[in-house]
Every structure is written in structure tokens, then in C-alpha cells.
Homo-oligomer: A and B are copies of this chain.
Amino acid sequence: MSSVLSADPVLQQVDRGFEDSLGRLCDLLRIPSVSTDPAYKGDVRRAADWLVRELSGLGFDASVRETAGHPAVVAHHPGPGGQDVPHILYYGHYDVQPAEPLELWNSPPFEPAIVEAEHGRRIVARGAVDDKGQVMTFIEAFRAWHAVHGTLPIRVTVLLEGEEETGSPNLLPFLKANAEELKADVCVITDTNAWNIDTPAITTRLRGLLYVEATLHGPSHDLHSGMFGGAVLNPINALTRILGQIHDEDGRVRFPGFYDDVAEPTDEEKAMWRDLGFDESAFLAGVGLKTPVGEAGRSALERLWSRPTCDINGIWGGYTGEGSKTVIASKASAKLSCRLVPAQDPEKILAGIKSFLEERTPADGRWEFTVFGRSPGVQVPTDSPYLRAAMAGLGDVFANKPALVGSGGSIPVGGYIRQALGFDSIFVGFGLEDDRIHSPNEKFEVKCLHNGIRSHAAMLARFAAL
């Protein structure tokens, strides 16, 4: 069906009201809603209350909703009366990472600073982009629609989480407990990046994650390396020997069955990614490196977006303090994680890891495993009408065609929504790679905020036109 409401005056309203939008984002940024630190518990709730107030003012039925941890905000807008319009769930999070180390900030993290830089003004504050700035892109789009038309062109439910930065421990239970209420046609998640400041992006591939801690046990207790060295199993020696075999000479992971279900990206995807002109040298230089690493014969974007990996995230054993201790440790441990691509089954991969390690168990050795996470990769069908509508909306705002990109990271909420609510998610966000999320001097380009609001306003019209 086609919408009776026009987006054009809404975009004009976005532009007219933009300085006020910026001011409201700054108000939200002043609330230090750090979810991991109990000292900020009251501030987290204050941010939720603030959002309920704003959404209520835009015609939403909004409320703070309790969870076992920090509360969520849920808000419903009926859309234009009497029409059969799409119903979209918007997801974002209003909690932020801790600001520490404070001494590395150029201005106080919870006193937003507007500074001039290469792309014009930018907002510097904890949460500027992740995810308060991104959340405000759709709230301010709702505001402009509300100001011009007195309503929204579709039915909207908003879900704002307060625990994303602590791993969303209560999100899946909350979704399940409120599945009926949160039902919609599709979810729009605004917590990802644009391709660059002039090129919007929809993320259609996200890698999943399997995280395992493995401990190799050997002697019954720590031994003196003089009395026993050279004649008994040393679990650290053995662990390095085994973990050192994870990759073959071409950088491929050697766990059995690891690549069985890995699909090659389509030629269209490969062509699209090639056209993005990714600068691998700049990517490496940004972290002090020069030399590409990984599977031979593949581009960096292919490796990051379409190939599974195994990284050791932590390792420890024996004496790790100052100076020397001549000990043969009784055990050694490592945390290792695999980024997974869609169709890889985390359980099957886990079985492959265990069998790889167990086949190499030294005589008298014994493994102990703990699994900390197993989420599959996500691939959003590129022929979804909602995705096509979102692309069209982005096309209404940006001169450059929106890029369909992948992400090396994992956003479990997409999987949770599929699991608990049964529908897909569209990942569309407006951050930039250099926004320093989770780091000191996090920033959001004002231009990105502005185009984000315009984009959401335009996407609303396009969704309504479905």
C-alpha cells in the first residue's frame, strides 16, 4: 500500500529543527548511564526516564520496563489511524561504556563538547555515537514526522536496552516474556556504521561468535623445573605446541569440519565489496601494522566479512609475576574464540575444536572446557522488501548509493530477535570507523547525526509505501 503522508516537508522540518535535535542529544549525553558500574545505577534509570518522557511527547505510549538488571524502555506508536501499515520495531541502547581512562579525554566525557574538525562540527562525549547518538537519529525523525503530520506513517514499537554494553544478559528473557507485545514485521537496529561520511551502509552480514576457555591439566601440582624439567609433561610447553598448530601455512584454521558449511560470498557481493575501494594499508596503519595477515588469496573485506577465524584472546599459566620462578605449572589455559559466518553451526564448530585439541592431548594430559558464548552468524536476505525500502530511503538522502556491507563483529540482538520474536533485522547505522567507540574521546560527526535523522525520516516514508 502507498502512504498518504509525504516525506518532503518532514525532511525540511528535520533541517529546521536540527539545532534543537543536537541540543536534546547533548542533554541525553549528560546523563552518565554506565551500565557496568553499579555506582551509575541511578543514572541509567534517569536516562530511561528521559527517553520515556521524550517518546511520550511524540505520541508514543512509553514506559520504563523492569528486567533482572537495568530497565528497558518500550514505546508504542499506533501510526496513522485506520490504515493497514507496516509495523516496525526499532532497537537501540541507551547505556554506555565506562569513560575510563579519564585522563585521556580532551574534555569531560559526560559534558558534550562540540568541536570543529575535518568534516565540520563533531560531538565529543561518551555515548556520542554508541548508541545514544544513533538512537536519537530515529527519535528525532519521529519528532519531525509528528511535528509535520501529527502522527507517524507506520506503526512503530521502540525497544531501548540498558544493558547492551554488559552483554545484554537480560535481553533474550525480556524478548521472550514480551514476545506478543514486541511483535512486528521487521526490526531496524541502529548500532552500526556507515561506509564513510558520504556513503550510507546497511550491514547484511554479521559474524557469530564461539568463545571457549580450554585448560590443559598435567602434573598433580606445580613442580620445580630443576627437579623435573626435561623428564615430565610441561602443560605450557604442550599448550603452545597444540595451539601453535591451529592455523596452517596458508592461514586456514585446521579444526576438523571448520569450513564445511562456509559459503563463498556471491560474485555480486565480491564485486560490491571490491567497488568499495577498502584501503587495507590505512586500516592496518591505524593500529600500528603494515602487513596483511590471514587466509591467503582473499581480500581483507572477504576475510573480515565472509570468513570464519580463530583468535586466542587470552593465555595464562605458571608464573607471571615479576622476575623468575622456576616452576613447571600443573596446568595452562587459553581463551579462544571463533568468529563464525552464517550456516556454520556453533555446536559443530565446538565439537571440531574439542576433537582437534583432544587428538593432540599429550600423554597424561587432560582438557577442561568452558564455553562462554555460541551465537551463529547473521545474514540478512538482500531481497527483503524492507531492506530494499531502507535502501531507497537512504537513497533519498545521500548522493552515493548505499553500500551493502558485512561486519566482522557480532551483534547478538539480531539473533535474539529472530529466536524470540521470529522476524529479521535490518542493521542500518550512521557511525564511522574512526568514532573511537569504547575509547576516550568518542565522537559523532554532526553531519552523520543530521543525515541519520534525515535517513530515518525518509525510510519511514519508504516503509509506509510498502
Chain A residues engaging chain B, CB cutoff 8 angstroms: 166-167, 207, 209, 211, 213, 218-234, 236-237, 239-247, 283-284, 287-295, 300, 303-304, 307-309, 311-320, 323-329, 332-335, 337, 339, 362-364, 372-373, 407-410, 433, 436-440
Residues of chain B within 8 A (CB-CB) of A242 are 244
Residues of chain B within 8 A (CB-CB) of A222 are 438-439
The contact of A228 among B237, B287, B410, by CB within 8 Å, is B287
The contact of A225 among B311, B433, B440, by CB within 8 Å, is B311
Are A312 and B304 in contact, CB atoms less than 8 angstroms apart? no
Shortest distance from the beta carbon of A70 to any chain B beta carbon, whole Å: 15
Shortest distance from the beta carbon of A352 to any chain B beta carbon, whole Å: 17
Are B439 and A313 in contact, CB atoms less than 8 angstroms apart? no
Give Cα A166–Cα B288 distance, bound, in whole angstroms.
38
Are A372 and B284 in contact, CB atoms less than 8 angstroms apart? no
Q: A230-B294, A241-B247, A291-B364 are in contact. Are A314 and B319 (CB under 8 A)?
A: yes
Report 6 cross-chain contacts, Cβ distance below 8 Å, ordered by A residue: A213-B324, A226-B339, A236-B314, A237-B311, A240-B240, A314-B320
Q: Which 10 A-B pairs have the closest CB atoms?
A: A226-B409, A244-B244, A220-B288, A230-B309, A291-B363, A314-B318, A324-B372, A241-B244, A240-B243, A314-B319
Are A294 and B231 in contact, CB atoms less than 8 angstroms apart? yes
Are A327 and B313 in contact, CB atoms less than 8 angstroms apart? yes
Give Cα A232–Cα B292 distance, bound, in whole angstroms.
6
Shortest distance from the beta carbon of A320 to any chain B beta carbon, whole Å: 4
Residues of chain B within 8 A (CB-CB) of A209 are 226, 326
Give Cα A308–Cα B339 distance, bound, in whole angstroms.
41
Give Cα A225–Cα B407 distance, bound, in whole angstroms.
11
Closest to A318 in B: B314
Shortest distance from the beta carbon of A433 to any chain B beta carbon, whole Å: 7
Are B320 and A231 in contact, CB atoms less than 8 angstroms apart? no
Residues of chain B within 8 A (CB-CB) of A287 are 219-221, 223, 228, 232
Closest to A98 in B: B325
Shortest distance from the beta carbon of A334 to any chain B beta carbon, whole Å: 8
Q: A226-B209, A230-B295 are in contact. Are A237 and B438 (CB under 8 A)?
A: no
Give Cα A326–Cα B97 distance, bound, in whole angstroms.
12
Residues of chain B within 8 A (CB-CB) of A407 are 226-227
**Supplied contacts A231-B283, A237-B311, 11 more A-B pairs, CB within 8 Å:** A209-B326, A220-B287, A220-B289, A221-B287, A221-B436, A230-B304, A231-B304, A311-B328, A313-B319, A315-B318, A320-B333
The contact of A312 among B220, B237, B283, by CB within 8 Å, is B237
Give Cα A304–Cα B323 distance, bound, in whole angstroms.
24
Shortest distance from the beta carbon of A169 to any chain B beta carbon, whole Å: 9
Give Cα A246–Cα B241 distance, bound, in whole angstroms.
9
Q: A229-B339, A231-B294, A237-B246 are in contact. Are A312 and B303 (CB under 8 A)?
A: no
The contact of A226 among B224, B232, B300, B408, by CB within 8 Å, is B408
Are A408 and B294 in contact, CB atoms less than 8 angstroms apart? no
Tell which of A222, A230, A313 has the most Cβ of chain B within 10 Å.
A230
Are A226 and B319 in contact, CB atoms less than 8 angstroms apart? no
Are B234 and A312 in contact, CB atoms less than 8 angstroms apart? yes
Closest to A290 in B: B364
Give Cα A440–Cα B221 distance, bound, in whole angstroms.
9
Residues of chain B within 8 A (CB-CB) of A409 are 224, 226-227, 326
The contact of A232 among B227, B247, B293, B437, by CB within 8 Å, is B293
Residues of chain B within 8 A (CB-CB) of A230 are 293-295, 303-304, 307-309, 311, 339, 408
Give Cα A115–Cα B313 distance, bound, in whole angstroms.
45
Residues of chain B within 8 A (CB-CB) of A300 are 231
Are B319 and A335 in contact, CB atoms less than 8 angstroms apart? yes
Shortest distance from the beta carbon of A429 to any chain B beta carbon, whole Å: 13
Give Cα A291–Cα B241 distance, bound, in whole angstroms.
18
Closest to A328 in B: B311
Shortest distance from the beta carbon of A306 to any chain B beta carbon, whole Å: 10
Give Cα A409–Cα B326 distance, bound, in whole angstroms.
9
Closest to A213 in B: B324
Residues of chain B within 8 A (CB-CB) of A218 are 289
Are A337 and B241 in contact, CB atoms less than 8 angstroms apart? no
Residues of chain B within 8 A (CB-CB) of A207 are 226
Residues of chain B within 8 A (CB-CB) of A319 are 313-314, 335
